[in-house]
Amino acid sequence: MQNEKLKILIIFSLICLAWGSTWGAIRLGLESLTPLISVGLRFTLASILILTIMKFNSVRIQTDKVSVKLYLLMAFGSFVIPFALVYWAEQFVPSGLASVLFAVYPFFVALFSYLAIPSEEIDIYKILGIVFGFTGIVTIFYDGLNVDLSLYIWGMVAIILSAIMQAGIAVTLKKHGHHLHPLSMNFVPMLLAGISLIFFGMLTENTSKLVWDAKAFGSIIYLAAIGSVLTFTSYYWLLKRVSVILLSLIAFITPIIALILGWIFFHEQLSNRVLIGSILVLIGLLTANLKNFNKLHSITLSRNDS
């Protein structure tokens, strides 16, 4: 039991670290590639990597009716539309504002869980945890909110829609996707998404602007291997074992990771506001998990008494 909890904690931390680094990689790639082509190549390469892992581990693609429906739902509702929206919006919306906007994700996960999964308990601890976490993100990126919002309105709408759609898919998978293997759960949707996005990109984007340099190849490889294969496979593994609401709090941690990585590698300054906001996010995470800590403490006490 303790080994399982340690494994969950390690994988949760790895996802936060990996996803925290993807925002910068996306921006780097967009200096050379158009949005749809960039994300399409990312998912196509990721699906090839996943298929290789599946072959090596003898994992079969599940083809029952429920699985096929979930594959299609994920392909377009979790990858094609949401990621196209985010990649498009990242061309216009400042990263700080984008982080705050996407941080509505846990709120919608909680709402959809309440409506669709009665067994997914939404207690006062989780609600307060989400509020503290969101307040922390707003505190960190407060300076980035002092912009003319009318200039970014459609990009803002795109990011919020992406967050809402991904929240809905996460709750749907929590409710109906228990039988799916984390690898096959990723392979089919990513393959469909990659092909679809490249196709739409070829039709709608100016491909003459594509520059095949180190930034392009580096971002695609990193985002495919780390930002897609590692993270999404691990995420769906956790989804079977952890409350979807607690898992959604990753959206509060990844912006902080992105700031820390910028401080380490690009010598960006970390203000007192970042420190205060990070503490609020930490308080939110601890508060959201407080009931779990209390349960663990009660179990420990009962064992000691026996």
Burial class (CB in 10 A: 0-12, 13-18, 19+), 243: buried
Task: Residue 131: name the closest of 23, 6, 287 by CA.
Answer: 287
Domain ranges of the chain: 55-203+233-295
Cβ(189)–Cβ(79) below 8 Å = yes
Residue with tokens 């407060």: 142
Amino acid at 60: R
Helix (H) or strand (E) holding 41: helix 35-56
Q: Which two tokens stand for residue 178?
A: 């228990």
Phi first, then psi: give them for residue 79, nearest 5 degrees.
-115, -65
Cβ(219)–Cβ(26) below 8 Å = yes
Task: Residue 106: name the closest of 257, 284, 295, 274 by CA.
Answer: 284
pLDDT value, residue 107: 92
What is the torsional sign of CA 196, 197, 201, 207? negative
CA-to-CA distance for 300 and 264, rounded, in angstroms?
40
> What predicted TM-score, i.e. pTM, was given to this entire model?
0.83
CA-to-CA distance for 46 and 1, rounded, in angstroms?
32
CA-to-CA distance for 46 and 191, rounded, in angstroms?
8
Task: Residue 90: name the closest of 38, 148, 14 by CA.
Answer: 38
Longest Cα–Cα distance of the chain, Å, equals: 73
- From first to last of the 306 residues of the chain, give the pLDDT tens digit: 568 888 888 999 999 989 888 877 888 898 899 999 999 999 999 999 999 999 999 999 998 999 999 999 999 999 999 989 988 887 788 766 777 788 899 999 999 998 898 877 788 888 999 999 999 998 988 876 666 667 788 888 999 999 999 999 999 999 998 888 989 889 999 999 999 999 999 999 998 889 999 999 999 999 999 999 999 999 999 988 888 988 899 988 888 888 887 777 767 677 788 889 888 998 998 888 876 655 544 434 344 454
CA-to-CA distance for 286 and 291, rounded, in angstroms?
10
Amino acid at 189: P
Neighbours of 84 (CB within 10 A): 22
Q: Which two tokens stand for residue 234?
A: 């691990």
Residue with tokens 């079977």: 240
Distance of CA 270 to the CA centre of its chain: 24
For the stretch 130-143, what's the b/e string if a residue is b when 16 or more beta carbons lie within 10 angstroms of its beta carbon?
Answer: bbbbbbbbbbbbee
